[in-house]
A and B are shown apart, each in its own frame.
Chain A
Amino acid sequence: MLMIDDSKPIFLQIAELIENGIVDGSMAEESQVPSTNEFAAFHRINPATAAKGVNLLVDSGILYKRRGIGMFVAKGARAQLVARRTEEFFEQYVKPLALEARKLGISAEQLNTMIERSSGLDPEPGTDKERSAAL
């Protein structure tokens, strides 16, 4: 359930978690996100680190602060994230996929067929729910 790992700084992972929520729609635009203390308590991490992750998103315009009330998802945040993630998707997934395919001698057509085949697959049941619960 806990998705904090040791590969990179926790504040980046917190930022990513919030981004995930925005991208998959569980955190709607103009809705309030949990406070940094709530993030810290939930993920059992240092509150200063949680704040750093949230502030990263404030700085990039994904979240905005309402004085005395809390933190909200900005308008247009989802579109902004999807655009960035698409680029990252290519780097993180398509490239290694192509590399591994070449290693195994899988042609581009075969790869296409495989991707089509997988599009009929359901995501693991419950995954979305767990993710939004985690946030």
Chain B
Amino acid sequence: MNDTIVEARNLIKHYKDLNALDNVNLSLSANRIYGLLGRNGAGKTTLMSILTAQAFATSGEALVFGASAYENDAVLSRICFIRESQKYPDDFQPRHAFRSAALFYKNWDQDFADRLAEDFQLPVKRRIKKLSRGQLSAVGVIIGLASRAELTFFDEPYLGLDAVARQLFYDRLVEDYAEHPRTIILSSHLIDEVANLLEHVVVIDRGRIIMDADAEDIRGSAVTVSGSADKVDAFLAGRKILHRETLGSLASVTVDEALSSRERNEALELGLELSPVSLQQLVVRKTMAGFGTTSTTGDFADDTLEARR
């Protein structure tokens, strides 16, 4: 079950004045749903492009199914990577794109593609050039799902899709994955929406991997303690603090550690409030910790201050 199918070793990608990938080491196993999370421009698309041999690394090694994907039909035929800015031939309609995909993916399921097109209300006979941004995303999503490739990448597949369509995508993904297990890599910065779908999380920030852990291990691995500032600080003395916010004499501090049940009781006795930290909050905190104090909130929705019970 847990064979390694993707292996990146010391991957470096330099652009003129930018380190898009800065020594990335990564290993992914078969038949899991991975989340590749990070801000816009963190290196998500670059990493996926290099793994699929659509782009080239400056140095390092990228192995997929044990070999480089570059000009390697045996490897390539098992991969599907429709990028967020995917281009299509000028005269193509969605149904042409689907028929093309059917030529190259042996597991292609045309019925499934037809159902999805109906679900997404995609006009399959309109020229792709004339589709809306959301409809364009739907074309990519449908190819990604219906190709049932052993290794499928979804590169921010939700752009332009409304909440209903996004939910539809997540639902179909889980259903189809349950029936046809395969390796899915879902790149996203809408972390709250996908968090529960992921089995493993890889967070990339400015070309570096800053988190690589099972989603279940991350859940509950951090906690926010709030209450009067002096009590909070005394209680958390010596712990790994990710973030601190104050409001008058009150403080809300997030620590990158789980509390034992004894410690939780202790906190409650002190009159402190404990609240869980969502994956999204944790990623935001870790990303910002990397930036130092000058950072801005960036693309992540920041709902840390929201009172949670």
| Interface residues in chain A, defined as those with a beta carbon under 8 Å from any beta carbon in chain B | 4-11, 36-37, 40-41, 43-49, 52, 91, 95-96, 99, 103
Contact = CB atoms under 8 A, between A and B. Distances in A.
Given A46-B199, A95-B265, 18 more contacts: A4-B196, A5-B276, A6-B195, A6-B220, A6-B277, A8-B219, A10-B219, A37-B175, A40-B178, A41-B178, A44-B170, A44-B171, A47-B174, A48-B33, A49-B216, A52-B216, A96-B268, A99-B269
Q: Is the interface of B mostly helix, strand, loop or mixed?
A: helix
Q: For the side of the interface on B, what is the size category?
A: 20 to 34
B285 to A, nearest CB: 13
Contacts of A40: 174, 178
Contacts of A103: 271
Contact of B177 (A11, A47, A96): A47
Nearest to A8: B220
A47 B178 contact: yes
A99 B197 contact: no
A37 B196 CA distance: 14
A36 B174 CA distance: 12
Of the listed residues A37, A40, A49, A103, the one surrounded by the most CB atoms of chain B closer than 10 A to its CB is: A49
B159 interface: no
Nearest to A51: B178
Nearest to B279: A6
Contacts of A45: 174, 196-197
B105 to A, nearest CB: 22
B179 interface: yes
